[in-house]
Structure formats: structure tokens, C-alpha cells
Amino acid sequence: MNNKDNYIKIGSTSFWLDSNGILNCKFSNKNPNYKLDKFISRLYINAIEKLCNGKPVPFLIDLRGTRGTFTEEAVKILAKSTLLKVLRLSESFVYDSIGMKLLIMSYKRMFDHYTPYQLFNEYQSAQAYCLVVKNDFYGSN
């Protein structure tokens, strides 16, 4: 994470491509009234595009400790992005509250039916799922 070419921070959200070839997204917002908007969604897509460099990878999305929600415009931009559809092999969501779990499940049901995903309450299991997906797609090393 020390290499600035593999790490991007936008507000309280960090993105990095780890040594396993997994795109990590760590959300750290503490404000329960925060709403992710379409402008920030576009910045997220630009960051992901830069980090992935055209190569499809699994996404590990760590939502532990974060609060807030998103506007419908923002979520549609993220869910329907042609670029993200190409780059996202799968999504692993790490959560620590029933509210966040319900938010993720609602998002997936309403906006993104096509990306394979799993929900985890533990980081290492989410990472293991990403590695299985990556190995299935690219073949074991």
C-alpha cells in the first residue's frame, strides 16, 4: 500500500490493488447522515479504472465501521458502469452490522444482478473468496 501508483484515497474511502491482484475498497465514513452522490461515484470509477489498468480482478469491499448510504443516482452509476462490469470479476463485502448487510443485499437485488458476490463478517474469508474467484478465472499459479 505504500506505492502511490497502487493506492488512491478519495475522502474517507481508500482503494488499492494488493499483491494478490485483489482490488480493495475500504470505506471509513463515520457520519450516518452521509450520502454518496453521483460526483463521488464517478471519482470511484476513475480510481478503480486506474488501479485495475484494464485487467479484471475481484473486488474486496470493506464496509466495517462505515455509516451512511447512497443516492439512487450514485448507485445506478456504480452498478451500471460498463467499465466496472468488465473489471469486476466478483465482489466480497465485509460488514459488521445488520443494517449494512441489509443495505448491501438491497443494492444487489435492485441494481446489480450480474456480478457474483458473497457477504462476510470476517476479512480473511472475504479475501479467500476473492482468491478462489481469481484462480478460477485466470487459472491457479
Q: Give the pLDDT confidence score for residue 140 in this predicted structure.
A: 72
Give the torsion sign (CA, 101, 24, 33, 36). Answer: negative
Cα–Cα distance, 22 to 10 (Å, whole number):
18
Mean pLDDT of 78-92: 95
Q: Give the pLDDT confidence score for residue 141 in this predicted structure.
A: 57
pLDDT digit string (tens) for 93-107? 999 999 999 989 998
Q: Give the pLDDT confidence score for residue 1 in this predicted structure.
A: 44
Q: Residue 54 pLDDT > 70, yes or no?
A: yes
DSSP assignment of 3-56 equals: -GGGEEEETTEEEEE-TTS-EEEEE----TT-EE-HHHHHHHHHHHHHHHTT--
